[in-house]
A and B are shown apart, each in its own frame.
Chain A
Amino acid sequence: MPAIGESRCVNDCVMKSVSGVGGVTEEMWVLFRVGDSLFGASGAQISQIVTPDFSLLGKLDSLNFPYFLPQPGKSPIACAELSRILFPPETPKVASSTLLLLKQSPLALLVGDIVDVLGLPKDELRPLPLILRKIRLREAICGIGFREDRSFCVLDLDGDMLLSPEERQEAERLLKVSSPKGRRKSHGRKATKLS
């Protein structure tokens, strides 16, 4: 089995950083690009950062989860493009180069490049301005952080706003169909097309 890509374990990094500052007040935030925009997410929600070889990713016949990441000896991971979740469908497609593997579920999010891993006390995140309290993805935004003079939205990757329970179920269903066992079970039914 060829290597899927380079990976880094974020949680090791988080643990080292937390012990390095001698307390648990500082949290690590992974900063990444989606298109031209900068976003952040808590390192505690990410198990691994992978720079995949796209030719080795499996393809799923799904708009929400166009790829899956095969894992030797483990269940595959469904991959969603974060740009499709965050921005309207008419937004031009942006380049994705990195996978954020989620810690709480067998899912990964495709994003642009990783910009930084930043130590920042959680209380330094600023709330979204009141005037924006009813925007569509309000619940998915934990707060606003700053890096140099640039602000970034910190996303809650585990919440139901980015990926709804129905979408998570869709990912599970797709992966069942994509696994050899699942394909045997789906014999005689319309299987999800893989290429």
Chain B
Amino acid sequence: MKQTLRALGWATTIFWIFLIAFAGTCVYSAANTRIKLGEPQVFPSETAITISFPLFINNSGYYDISDLNVTTLLEDIDGVCVSKSTTIITLVPKGRNIVKTHNITINLNDIAYNFYYYLFNDTEFNLQQHFKLKFARVIPFHALANMKIPWGAPLYNFSVKQVSYQCSYLTNCTVTVSFAFENHSPYFDVIGKLRLEIYNSNGEQIGIGETTADAPSHSSFEGTVDIVVDGEKFTAQGEIFFYFETPLFNFGPLVIPYG
């Protein structure tokens, strides 16, 4: 029994030393591991907006990092998922640096149902970033960052200020439409073409006009368009159709009645 107890004593002591050493080196390694997302780059296209983050992983510890999973979940204010992007790195060996790109793709078709709302109303998005990994292959680690991203409407408070007309002859009238909006977006400028179509109360198109809009981020824009219309068809009441064409989005018609 004495020998058994002695063996048991040595075995437990050795295992305790291993366990304490493992715990210590794990904590030391975790302190020397750096995972961070770099500066984002935005790539707009006709169907989607891709936000690309470089993902830097510097594993200076004593243990491998495995099953690294970076997931970004973008939800609108109602909790509807706008975009979910995942990047998986199966192994980051000890003492290695790895750089990988984490892409967040926002499909414009997915937000089409709310596109009108996003153009004209300020709101906020909820961004969840999940980092999951296994440290030393046996210690799962999970970090969850939750942040609100404010969304500024690029065409906030778009309104027709005044519609006036002047006729030199009965058949030759000029309608002057003045309109204004505020670009609340912190992310992009609204630069592009604005096309107007005027319809009389019978629904007939009586004139077309065009202007350019240049509203830098966080600025107001006021514009005036002169449209030559057929004076015989012009009515005191009608509708103006607005069409926007910018490198980032095309939108229209926005129908605003006049008169």
Q: Do A and B come from one complex?
A: no
List A residues at the B interface (Cβ < 8 Å).
Answer: none
